[in-house]
């Protein structure tokens, strides 16, 4: 189903706006940039997970007069990173709460001198008892964050009730319980974190960085340097991937570079190497989700009781909003009259967890979609049938009592997924062939949604502003703080502007992503760029065309030349050609933050994914051998980029499920190298088929909804469901490594032997 349209640019596979520069090596990333007289910065980090700092010693064998040294006492403003809470220090002052926490910064004109200098700074600690897991934090025996009450160690909690859960257990035909766990995951953007800062008494502080959210950094720098908004400038340079990993961390790094620049009175560059980036920056929140579900004799859900716990690490960062999204995706795309969800984000003495593609949804979708597989087995229905019987449809309500007013086509998506994957035929074929082979094959599916845009009232608080202007040399510029980091922001926003203005894609460029130039269109997160920011650009474009018709004589059926001619006239009248629009919530959106009730998201992207796996009983390894995706994301703005998002998300989801394991030793990441933190290679990723259904969403740009996070949500449960189909073993934790499969199948064999004996 392709939406009929007379669109010229939107929906076409335009080449990436910055693609040629990237391919030809002309794109300048942070480490490609130099400034006159630049020095290089490095960071002294904690080596214990929790303790008091007693003393800092500088080895006399180093000539410290050559270095600039910054510690907490040098901070002119507030020693905290301004995120949702202000609990995370910019530099540890008196106490450390996780390994690899920044304590001291040094800078030197010769970067080769930095490692030996770092090694010559010694810190004496009085160690304090560290809390290193959700379970330890839950005991509240040691309070490491918050008040010394029952609220201690809890960054955030939610409680959600729909209907009356307690009333139905007695009448349930089946009750299924399960506990599911997900691990930390590293983003592995190609380019590590890096920033350059410059300080000047008159103009204030300027930071160039590899980052997602220029205005988050801007806000944070204002607090650390105690400067007004106009004396802080943040410029995003070409950014080599982010996946959420450059949502909050760049605020810390920018402040570090800025503090050194202020003290050194010269530009400072800090670029992490991979080992430092892996050890010190955020990861995906580990989670534990418990489900207790009542089902009637026909396989319909009667009640869902869900308990979610996430590990937030040592500081609050984004844990509350990650937990919110985990909570709001925990029922899956199913309708159920009685729901209770409790969720908590716990503090531990590990590196703070942060944003990562999916933002809590992959965790809770893994749980519900593995759980539905167990429900199917208990009831005696096929994987597809149990889901079909419980899917949300138009007019149904979610856990927050949000009524599905937009079309929900889960049945269509499921039908198509079964068809393109030849699901039932493959399942029978594998069942027939598996006994003859040491390699057992299986097929599994997962159905899910991903809410587009900020949760609840988030977009209203953001109050984004975005627009376009026209330069004197006849280029339309898109004015946004939305950033390009490989996912296609530049391309889709210029496509949208070109479409709304009725001019060519090549006539539109992006304005520099510089807080001194562009308005605050919000952070580049939460699958909001296409839908929310894109819509602002569409409106700004239409508004400008209206203005040109009214004031500057633009006629119908205008050519590009006519357009720019009337821009000239418009400029003579108004001094500039600019059109900005501010966010307006879609009508009939209501959200109650207190009770977590109402329209959690203005729109949802929907999907059904199918994985085929091969489990080798010689090596106990599971591989994904084929993958099918069917999704409804509203209008597809650029089919090449959209397919790329899906394929990349699936690859990252395969890593999450089967390969990527963050190993800790006393809170320090042990495998902080790409040789030991195993992400799948091209050879480990199978062919991925991508199918879109398009139902344009009236309040998204030309009908677009969010797409970027959706593909990370479904692979892990689909893959583990397929493994269950292959070897009849139900695994409940990811990452699932060969060593885990080995333990299960050999201990099972051992038990069998003992039973026989």
Partner 1 sequence: MRGNPESHHFIDAANLDEILALLAKEPGEWTAIAGGTEIMVAHAAGRLSAKKLINLWGVPELSNIVVTETHLSIGGGVTFNQIRHDATIIAEFPLLAQAASWIGSIANQSRATIAGNIVNGSPAADAPPALLVYDAEIELISHKGTRRLAYSDFHTGYKQSLLLSSELVLAIHLPRHHEQQIKYLRKVGTRRAMAITKVALAGTASSVHHAITRIRIAAASVADRPLRLIATEAALLNEPLNESTLSRARKALWSEVRPIDDLRSTAEYRKQVIANLLDEFLTQIARSSPS
* Contact residues: partner 1, CB under 8 A: 112-113, 115-116, 273, 275, 618-621, 623, 659, 663, 670-671, 673, 675-676, 678-684, 738-739, 742-743, 746
Q: Which is nearer to partner 1, 1 or 119 (CB)?
A: 119
At closest approach, how far in Å is the CB of 653 from partner 1?
Answer: 15
**Do 180 and 733 form a contact (C-beta atoms < 8 A)?**
yes
Q: Which is nearer to partner 1, 120 or 175 (CB)?
A: 120
Helix (H, G, I), strand (E, B) or coil at 730: coil
The token pair at 7 is 């669109």
Q: Which is nearer to partner 1, 115 or 395 (CB)?
A: 115
Q: Which is nearer to partner 1, 433 or 663 (CB)?
A: 663
At closest approach, how far in Å is the CB of 112 from partner 1?
Answer: 4
E strand residue ranges, 46-188: 51-58, 68-70, 95-96, 102-108, 121-127, 154-162, 174-182
At closest approach, how far in Å is the CB of 681 from partner 1?
Answer: 5
Neighbours of 497 (CB within 10 A): 31
Neighbours of 470 (CB within 10 A): 24
The token pair at 504 is 């060519």
At closest approach, how far in Å is the CB of 652 from partner 1?
Answer: 14
At closest approach, how far in Å is the CB of 274 from partner 1?
Answer: 9
At closest approach, how far in Å is the CB of 739 from partner 1?
Answer: 5
DSSP letters of 130-160? ---SHHHHHHTSS--SS-SSTTTTEEEEEEE
Q: Which is nearer to partner 1, 468 or 737 (CB)?
A: 737
At closest approach, how far in Å is the CB of 41 from partner 1?
Answer: 15
Q: How far apart are CA 567 and CA 527, in angstroms?
A: 33
Q: Which is nearer to partner 1, 115 or 147 (CB)?
A: 115
At closest approach, how far in Å is the CB of 673 from partner 1?
Answer: 8
At closest approach, how far in Å is the CB of 263 from partner 1?
Answer: 24
Find the length of the chain: 757
Which helix (DSSP H) or strand (DSSP E) does residue 626 occupy? Answer: strand 621-632
E strand residue ranges, 268-337: 268-271, 287-295, 301-313
Q: Which is nearer to partner 1, 139 or 729 (CB)?
A: 729
At closest approach, how far in Å is the CB of 621 from partner 1?
Answer: 7
Residue 618, burial from CB neighbour count under 10 angstroms (0-12, 13-18, 19+): exposed
Q: How far apart are CA 726 and CA 737, in angstroms?
A: 16
Q: Which is nearer to partner 1, 150 or 675 (CB)?
A: 675
Residue 530 φ/ψ, nearest 5 degrees = -65, -50
Q: Which is nearer to partner 1, 15 or 670 (CB)?
A: 670
User: What are the residues whose beta carbons fall under 8 Å from the beta carbon of 283, sequence distance 6 or more?
Assistant: 184, 185, 186, 313, 351, 353, 354, 356, 662
Q: Which is nearer to partner 1, 93 or 684 (CB)?
A: 684
Cα four-point dihedral sign 549, 554, 555, 556: negative
Distances (CA, A) of 674 to 530, 655, 679: 32, 13, 8
């Amino acid at each position: 189903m392709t939406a009929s349209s007379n669109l010229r640019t939107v929906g076409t596979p335009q080449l990436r706006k910055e693609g040629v520069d990237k391919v030809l090596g002309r794109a300048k990333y942070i480490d490609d940039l130099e400034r006159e007289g630049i020095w290089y910065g490095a960071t002294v980090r904690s080596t214990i997970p929790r303790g008091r700092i007693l003393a800092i010693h500088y080895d006399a064998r180093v000539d410290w007069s050559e270095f600039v040294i910054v510690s907490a006492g040098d901070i002119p403003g507030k020693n905290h990173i301004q995120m949702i809470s202000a609990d995370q220090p910019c530099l540890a002052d008196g106490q450390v709460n996780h390994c690899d926490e920044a304590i001291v910064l040094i800078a030197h004109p010769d970067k080769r001198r930095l490692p030996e200098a770092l090694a010559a700074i010694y810190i004496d600690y009085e160690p304090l008892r560290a809390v290193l897991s959700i379970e330890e934090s839950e005991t509240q025996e040691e309070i490491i964050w918050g008040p010394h009450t029952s609220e201690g160690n809890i960054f955030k909690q939610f409680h959600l009730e729909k209907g009356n859960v307690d009333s139905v257990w007695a009448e349930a035909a089946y009750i299924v319980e399960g506990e599911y766990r997900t691990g930390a995951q590293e983003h592995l953007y190609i380019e590590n974190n890096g920033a350059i800062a410059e300080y000047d008494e008159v103009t204030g502080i300027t930071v160039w960085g590899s980052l997602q959210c220029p205005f988050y950094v801007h806000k944070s720098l204002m607090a650390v340097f105690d400067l007004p908004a106009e004396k802080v400038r943040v410029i995003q340079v070409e950014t080599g991937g982010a996946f959420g990993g450059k949502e909050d961390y760049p605020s810390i790094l920018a402040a570090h570079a800025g503090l050194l620049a202020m003290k050194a009175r010269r530009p400072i560059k800090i670029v992490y190497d991979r080992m430092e980036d892996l050890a010190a920056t955020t990861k995906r929140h580990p989670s534990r989700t418990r489900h207790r579900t009542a089902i009637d004799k026909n396989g319909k859900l009667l009640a869902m009781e869900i308990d979610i716990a996430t590990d937030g690490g040592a500081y609050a960062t984004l844990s509350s909003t990650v937990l919110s999204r985990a909570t709001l995706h925990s029922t899956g795309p199913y309708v159920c009259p009685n729901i209770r969800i409790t969720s908590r984000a716990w503090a531990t003495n590990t590196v703070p967890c942060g944003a990562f593609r999916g933002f809590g949804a992959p965790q809770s979708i893994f749980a519900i979609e593995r759980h539905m597989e167990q429900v199917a087995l208990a009831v005696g229905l096929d994987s597809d049938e149990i889901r079909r019987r419980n899917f949300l449809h138009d007019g149904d309500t979610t856990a927050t009592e949000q009524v599905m007013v937009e079309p929900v086509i889960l049945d269509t998506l499921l039908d198509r997924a079964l068809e393109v994957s030849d699901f039932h035929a493959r399942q029978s074929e594998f069942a027939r062939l598996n006994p003859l082979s040491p390699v057992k094959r299986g097929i599994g599916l997962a159905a899910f949604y991903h809410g587009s845009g900020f949760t609840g009232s988030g977009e209203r608080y953001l109050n984004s502003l975005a627009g376009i202007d026209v330069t004197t040399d006849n280029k339309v510029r898109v004015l946004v703080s939305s950033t390009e980091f490989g996912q296609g922001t530049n391309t889709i926003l210029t496509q949208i502007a070109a479409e709304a203005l009725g001019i060519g894609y090549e006539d539109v460029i992006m304005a520099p992503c510089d807080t001194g130039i562009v308005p605050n269109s919000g952070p580049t997160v939460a699958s909001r760029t296409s839908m929310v920011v894109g819509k602002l650009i569409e409106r700004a474009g239409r508004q400008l065309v209206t203005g040109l018709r009214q004031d500057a004589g633009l006629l119908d059926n205008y050519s590009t030349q006519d357009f720019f001619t009337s821009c000239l006239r418009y400029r003579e009248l108004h001094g500039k050609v600019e059109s900005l629009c501010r966010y307006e919530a879609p009508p009939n959106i209501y959200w109650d933050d207190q009770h977590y009730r109402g329209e959690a998201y203005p729109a949802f992207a929907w999907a059904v994914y199918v994985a085929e796996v091969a489990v080798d009983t010689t090596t106990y390894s599971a591989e994904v051998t084929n993958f099918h995706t069917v999704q409804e994301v509203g209008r597809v703005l650029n089919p090449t980029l959209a397919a790329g998002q899906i394929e990349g998300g699936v690859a990252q989801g395969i890593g999450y499920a089967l390969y990527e394991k963050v190993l800790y030793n006393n809170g320090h990441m042990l495998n902080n190298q790409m040789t030991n933190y195993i992400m799948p290679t091209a050879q480990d990723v199978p062919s991925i088929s991508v199918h879109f259904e398009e139902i344009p969403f009236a309040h998204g740009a030309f009908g677009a909804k969010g797409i970027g996070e959706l593909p990370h949500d479904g692979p892990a449960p689909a893959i583990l469901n397929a493994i269950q189909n292959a070897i009849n073993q139900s695994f409940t934790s990811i990452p699932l490594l060969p060593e885990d499969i080995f333990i299960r199948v050999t201990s099972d064999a051992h038990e069998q032997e003992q039973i026989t004996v």
